[in-house]
Amino acid sequence: MKLELLAEKLGFQQKEGTFVRTFSGYEASLVMYKVPGSYVKIPMVLFVLNKSIDKEDTKAIMKASKLRGIFKESVALKDNAILIQPRFNNNEKFDAYVNKIVSTFEDLRLKQLDYCPYCGEGETDSKRILKGTIIHVHDRCVKDFVEKVSTHLETVGNSKENLLKSIIFALIGGFIGLLPSIIILFATGFYSAWLFLLIPFAAFYGFKKGGAQRGSYVMVIIALISFILAPGFMAFAYYSMAIVNELTFAEALAIDEFRADFVTDMIMSVVFTALAVFFSWKKIYTQTHGQIKKDISELKG
């Protein structure tokens, strides 16, 4: 459903390109929320609060809303925003549902963020739209913050320290991630696209352990490692099979059945690796400097 239509249905008003509605003094925004690490976007009701929502708060809110899980977000502060699904199409039920959650905020002494999150002062002179909601700020504070983070990314972010170590760790990690696929393949003769997903994640885990800076190029390294390891292993398996049967690889390839199986498996390993890279991309990207740069560009407005 279009956000405009849903907003109208649930009583949200348009305000500077956002959709807002106040529930007992708390301003909520209806936003199109991109589920972290995925390509999925869903409409959500967003509340931005003045402090981090801790575990106890989360529990209390979940109890009040009867939700199994809630999304927490960082909007200018860390973990200070909460997203709930607009579950009811019936207005009365929706209002009761949201009001119950809002009354939990009051019980937990979570207040709405109504001051500049960078300096804590109330008299703001500017606004930014972050994650679909309006945040009141000082222009000066935002500029200082953006400059500070940008400078940090330029100096520390471009450091090549530990890069080689991280790449080696990523290779080792990727190989460990490949093992389940190898075991299942030998045991059953099948592949699972989901098991291939372990390769990029394990490679990234290794990269992080290596301690290098996570520039945006990490994505390319992880993709490369995945594409080298999985099809590379497949080729190696066929090569070994030929040797075990006392044939050279060329001789084995001359056998129609061997060649057909080899080609099929090579194609499948490339396809599955591509799927794994595609599905892991966003999740890994959110942990790189690429994500920070994106967040910063949103602030520049």
What's the min distance (Å) between Cβ of 128 and Zn ion? 12
What's the min distance (Å) between Cβ of 121 and Zn ion? 5
Distance, first Cα to last Cα, the chain: 27
What's the min distance (Å) between Cβ of 20 and Zn ion? 22
The one segment of 4-12, 134-142, 223-231, 249-257 that binds Zn ion by CB under 5 A: 134-142
- Residue closer to Zn ion (CB basis): 128 or 131: 128
Is residue 119 near Zn ion by the rule CB under 5 A? yes
User: How many residues make contact with Zn ion (CB under 5 A)?
Assistant: 5
Is residue 116 near Zn ion by the rule CB under 5 A? yes
The one segment of 40-48, 81-89, 106-114, 132-140 that binds Zn ion by CB under 5 A: 132-140
Per CB under 5 A, contacts with Zn ion among 236-295 are none
Is residue 209 near Zn ion by the rule CB under 5 A? no
The one segment of 42-50, 117-125, 209-217, 241-249 that binds Zn ion by CB under 5 A: 117-125
- Among 51, 87, 127, 138, the residue binding Zn ion under the rule CB under 5 A is 138
Task: Please say whether the beta carbons of 26 and 101 come within 8 A.
Answer: no
Residue ranges in 108-217 assigned as alpha helix (H): 139-155, 163-188, 193-196, 198-210
Three-class SS of 75-95: CCCCCCEEEECCCCCCHHHHH
What's the min distance (Å) between Cβ of 56 and Zn ion? 29
Which residue in this structure is represented by tokens 């059953």? 188
- Residue closer to Zn ion (CB basis): 138 or 282: 138
What's the min distance (Å) between Cβ of 118 and Zn ion? 5
Task: Please say whether the beta carbons of 226 and 203 come within 8 A.
Answer: yes
Q: How far apart are CA 228 and CA 10, in angstroms?
A: 51
Contacts of 65 (CB under 8 A, 6+ apart): 84, 97, 100, 101, 104
Is residue 141 near Zn ion by the rule CB under 5 A? yes
The one segment of 42-50, 88-96, 141-149, 283-291 that binds Zn ion by CB under 5 A: 141-149
DSSP 233-247: HHHHHHHHHHHHTT-
- Residue closer to Zn ion (CB basis): 119 or 266: 119
Please tell me the number of Cα atoms within 13 Å of 69 on its side-chain side: 3
DSSP 112: B
- Residue closer to Zn ion (CB basis): 116 or 199: 116
Could you tell me how far CA 237 lies from the centroid of its own chain? Answer: 34
The one segment of 51-59, 126-134, 135-143, 210-218 that binds Zn ion by CB under 5 A: 135-143
Task: Please say whether the beta carbons of 227 and 301 come within 8 A.
Answer: no
What's the min distance (Å) between Cβ of 76 and Zn ion? 10
The one segment of 45-53, 111-119, 198-206, 222-230 that binds Zn ion by CB under 5 A: 111-119
99: left (phi over 0), alpha (psi -120 to 50) or beta: alpha
Is residue 118 near Zn ion by the rule CB under 5 A? yes
Binding site for Zn ion (CB under 5 A): 116, 118-119, 138, 141
